Amino acid sequence: MASPRSNRSHHLLLQLSSSFLLLSSLFLHAARTTAQNSSLAVRDYILLNCGAFGQLQDENNRNWMGDIGSKFGPSPSQNTLNVTAATLDNSVSQVPYKTARISRSSFTYSFPISPGRKFVRLYFYLATDFPSDSMFAVTANPGNFTLLSNFSASQTAQDLNFPYLIREFSVNVSSGSLNLTFTPAAGVPNAYAFVNGIEIVSMPNLFSSETLTIVGTSTTYTVDETTALQTMYRLNVGGNAISPVDDVDLFRSWADDNHYILSAATGVTYGQDSNVSIRYSKVPEYAAPTVVYGTARSMWNNPSISIAYNLTWLFSVDPGFLYLVRMHFCEIRYPFTKINQRVFSIYLNNQTAEPDADVIAFSGGIGCPVCRDYIVPTTGNADQQDFRVALHPYRATVPF
């Protein structure tokens, strides 16, 4: 997750799903699609379809409420317009991207919600019939967090070669309300702000009060209630993408990792043994869907081949931030049930994060998921830089 700009030092979160020398993946399961089946009580769950009226379903059968006439929307005095795109790209869902709330002046959405940490997801699609000069900031209060600054939906979509954008943040709400303000960039001719959809979901304190050592230093960093985060990447490694309805506890999207693997040394993927069940003890069930832990990507099955290979994922990030990398591990195959049977090294942004990682030692047993968090610094003045996540064989033991 990325750290929106606040009075605290900036940092971002790069979240991966992983399992040992493998970053964990997907296995077939019975998808849960309603909150009634969830192990986590979701106190606030808002899907707001900006610029629309009434209730409409998206392609995942989630119900979105139009902001026209809603208690959340900007007041008439804020001079906003509700607009409808004439056409949509074939890959873009009608809801929430068909309509938008747009203005050349600042406007605010106000959400009366319970105190606590929330996922805030903002949806953007710059239709071909919209002006291309959108440039704006988004701030969240209480907390005075700048979630987006000088944000150009058209330029960002062009850089990513993707028609629509979703930006996900985690913010702590100390009071009983959350205000999201969209402000066109000052000094930019004809700049305007817009948004197609807003999603707010209660979440547990997945990272709060956790003190971590910054990789490569002796400095510590505490992720607490004053910290806001932006999700940069969330990957289901070795498996398929996971839609929000298949992560019903927190409605997170997990992308597959194929586009991020560096070089042809992609290793091998496999599923859990039929007699292995996923048992949550070290982490709560909402840490990640069970499907994340059910398959894996590793080196090679032959140790003599594995010793010559690494697994590396490459990401593009903004320099000058701290990054929080969360890795999910679970040993899912026999006969690997003992400490020192599979050991590997974790390198993050070319720094040693874990010289001799051992999933059984971390988790306590086969089929037991566990998370490992790392804070990683970045430096430089470029617009973007490469961030490597690499797993290397630990040569003092036999790698797999």
Quick check: 330 and 278 in contact, CB under 8 A? yes
The pLDDT value recorded for residue 14 is 61
The pLDDT value recorded for residue 247 is 92
| Distance in angstroms (rounded) separating the CA atoms of residues 145 and 139 | 5
For residue 76, the SS3 value is helix
What contacts 137, CB < 8 A, 6 or more positions away? 146, 148, 149, 150, 151, 182, 183, 185, 193
Least confident range of 52-66, 90-104, 216-230, 356-370: 216-230
**Measuring CA to CA, which residue among 207, 212, 260 is closest to residue 233?**
260
Mean pLDDT score across all residues of the chain:
84
Region 155-180: mean pLDDT is 92
pLDDT digits (tens, 9 = 90+) for 244-301: 999 988 999 999 988 898 876 677 888 888 899 999 999 999 999 999 999 888 875 5
Half-sphere exposure of 201 (CA within 13 A, CB side): 21
What contacts 335, CB < 8 A, 6 or more positions away? 341
For residue 196, the SS3 value is coil
Give 12 or 238, the one with higher predicted confidence: 238
What is the band of 225 on the pLDDT scale with cuts at 50, 70, 90?
Answer: confident
Q: Where do the CATH 2.60.120.430 domains begin and end in the chain?
A: 41-202
Is pLDDT above 60 for 219?
A: yes
Rounded alpha-carbon distances, angstroms, from residue 133 to 78, 146, 286, 304: 20, 20, 40, 56
The pLDDT value recorded for residue 254 is 93
Is pLDDT above 90 for 356?
A: yes
**Fold that domain 41-202 belongs to in CATH:** Jelly Rolls (2.60.120)
Quick check: 97 and 122 in contact, CB under 8 A? no
